[in-house]
């Protein structure tokens, strides 16, 4: 909690109970939740929280560089408090999103650079497949 307050302040953000709750939750999960999932998880203990606030807060966190947004092919974006580049695996059956860890593709952007006249700034590498749980319950 104290750490979250410090982190928000370091980004010049006003500290509110909602912002603390959302950032604390994101920095303690490996689930890469979307806004709805964050709202569902926090609403019971934060009855004044609204889904709109979650969306607005995530947008603010993203522009402050506190979180990264992942598009995994779903209508809503997933969020990750780990902002350094890393690859992800997505289950095409249950939608689970995990880190590819350790990530052997750290040099991908440098490798792509000679093949384009664009100045490359970022990339997202996502692998799709079946998680062990879904693989097990497959008919």
For Mn ion, the binding residues (CB under 5 A) are: 80, 99
**Pairing relationship of beta strands 88-91 and 126-129 according to DSSP bridges:** parallel
Q: Which residue, 46 or 87, has its beta carbon nearer to Mn ion?
A: 87
Name the nearest CA neighbour of 61 among 25, 103, 114. Answer: 25
With CB under 5 A as the contact rule, which of the stretches 3-11, 25-33, 44-52, 127-135 interacts with Zn ion? 127-135
DSSP 36-55: HHHHHHHTTT-TT--HHHHH
Question: Which one of Zn ion, Mn ion, none interacts with residue 69, CB within 5 to 8 A by kind?
Answer: none
CB 5 within 8 A of CB 56: no
Footprint of Zn ion on 3-32 (CB under 5 A): none
By beta-carbon proximity to Mn ion, the closer residue of 15 and 100 is 100
Looking at the DSSP bridge assignments, the partners of residue 80 are 68
Q: Which of 93, 100, 108, 126 binds Zn ion (CB under 5 A)?
A: 93
Q: Which does 90 bind (CB under 5 to 8 A by kind): Zn ion, Mn ion, none?
A: none
Q: Segment near Zn ion (CB under 5 A), from 20-28, 56-64, 72-80, 91-99?
A: 91-99
Least distance to Zn ion from the beta carbon of 129, Å? Answer: 9
Counting Cβ atoms within 10 Å, is residue 139 exposed (0-12), middle (13-18) or buried (19+)?
exposed
Q: Interface with Zn ion includes 92 (CB under 5 A)?
A: no
Euclidean distance between CA atoms 121 and 107, whole angstroms: 13
């Amino acid at each position: 909690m104290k750490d979250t307050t410090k982190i928000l302040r370091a980004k010049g953000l006003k500290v509110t109970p909602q912002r603390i709750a959302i950032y604390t939750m994101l920095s303690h999960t490996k689930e890469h939740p979307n806004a709805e999932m964050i709202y569902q998880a926090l609403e019971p203990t934060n009855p004044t929280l609204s889904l709109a606030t979650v969306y607005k807060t995530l947008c603010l966190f993203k522009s402050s560089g506190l979180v990264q947004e992942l598009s995994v092919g779903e209508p809503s974006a997933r969020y990750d408090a780990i902002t350094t580049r890393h690859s992800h695996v997505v289950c095409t059956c249950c939608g689970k999103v995990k880190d590819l860890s350790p990530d052997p593709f750290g040099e991908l952007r440098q490798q792509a650079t000679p093949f384009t006249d664009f100045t490359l700034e970022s990339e997202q590498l996502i692998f799709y497949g079946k998680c062990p749980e879904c693989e097990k319950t497959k008919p």
